[in-house]
Homo-oligomer: A and B are copies of this chain.
């Protein structure tokens, strides 16, 4: 039985396993004109995360909580709906109860500052990202890699890009990435990512529906030095798409190609 907690009205017991062990998953959803954007993708990822951790989550309950949250926190400007699903309290140490009593925690947050459309400066993080295959893709509450990488990031960087042990470029701390090389788009291998971005999935789906070629492959940071390199974009479901104008000390070409292709479809799903 899942307990729904409205974070503006109620706090969380200190013995909640989300706090104790990172034992849960979350989503942040941009709400525009009282419509949760990319709703089905967020719902699907939260359900997949719950399934992976074996935390029961009823899909209908989730949908109705989202609908209720949009009314409960309604406001004219865009805002961010955050859902945290924890396994609740209980269990013997790390070992969960066979029948947990999960908590679904619902909160509203203002939009973060939007990145400048002319592009952002980013750095390559020295904090390597080791993604456990069993945790790949889902937004678990255990996000210390992202915390440490963003903590070490210089103030004038918008984002820190992380590589894995093989040196492959994976993702930013809070964004996914897409590269244009010659006539094709490149994305890192999805199964190696810490977070499978809902916006990335949406953008790739729009690109492919328009006949563009998007390839999933291992990408080294040195790709930005190749003559065929056209551009690098970051994206997430809250801020949308932003071009990268500089990686560490290297200025990149910036163009509006991706935003132009995807623009009108950005939050229409």
Q: Which residues of A contact B (CB under 8 A)?
A: 5, 7, 10-23, 26, 53-54, 84, 86, 92-96, 105, 107, 112, 127-128, 130, 132, 134-135, 140-151, 153, 173-174
Contact = CB atoms under 8 A, between A and B. Distances in A.
A100 to B, nearest CB: 10
Contact of A144 (B112, B140, B151): B140
B134 A148 contact: yes
A141 B11 contact: no
A127 to B, nearest CB: 7
A237 to B, nearest CB: 13
Could you say which of A84, A143, A144 has the most chain B C-beta atoms within 10 Å of its C-beta? A144
A205 to B, nearest CB: 25
7 contacts: A20-B26, A21-B22, A21-B146, A22-B141, A22-B142, A54-B151, A96-B150
A126 to B, nearest CB: 10
A227 B11 CA distance: 56
Given A54-B151, A95-B150, A144 B14 contact: no
A19 B21 contact: no
Contacts of A12: 11-14, 16, 19
